[in-house]
Amino acid sequence: MLYGTGMTQEIAVLSAEPEMALESPPVRKVFVKTYGCQMNVYDSDRMTDALAKDGYVSTDVMEDADLVLLNTCHIREKAAEKVYSALGRLRDLKKKKAGEGREMMIGVAGCVAQAEGDEILRRAPAVDLVIGPQTYHRLPEALKRVQRGERVLETDYAIEDKFEHLPAPDKAKTKARGVTAFLTVQEGCDKFCTFCVVPYTRGSEVSRPVAQIVAEAQKLVDAGVREITLLGQNVNAWHGVGADGKNGASASFCTA
pLDDT in tens, 170-196: 888 899 999 999 999 999 999 999 988
On whether the CB atoms of residues 67 and 29 are closer than 8 A, the answer is: yes
Q: What is the pTM of this model?
A: 0.84
Instruction: Find residue 228's DSSP bridge partners.
Output: 181
Coil vs helix vs strand at 104: coil
Which pLDDT band, with edges at 50, 70 and 90, does 108 fall under?
very high
Q: How confident is the model at residue 35 (pLDDT cuts 50, 70, 90)?
A: very high
Read off the pLDDT of each residue in 222-238 and give the average, rounded to a whole number.
94
Q: Which amino acid is at 230?
A: L
The per-residue pLDDT for 249 is 67
Domains of the chain and CATH, by start: 28-159 (3.40.50.12160), 168-256 (3.30.750.210)
pLDDT at 155 exceeding the cut of 80? yes
Under 8 Å between Cβ of 182 and 38: yes
pLDDT at 120 over 50: yes
Q: Read off the pLDDT of each residue in 76-99 and give the average, rounded to a whole number.
A: 92
Is-contact 162 212, C-beta < 8 A? no
Report the mean per-residue pLDDT for the chain: 87
Mean pLDDT of 10-38: 67
Question: What is the pLDDT averaged over residues 212-229?
Answer: 96
Whether the pLDDT of residue 7 is over 70: the answer is no
pLDDT band per the 50, 70, 90 thresholds, residue 23: low
Average pLDDT over residues 70-85: 88
Residue with more model confidence, 104 or 196: 104
**Which residues, 6+ apart, have CB-to-CB distance to 91 below 8 Å?**
106, 124, 125, 126
What 247-253 contacts at long range (C-beta under 8 Å, 24+ apart), as own/partner pairs, is 248/210, 253/185, 253/210, 253/213
Whether 110 contacts 73, CB under 8 Å: yes
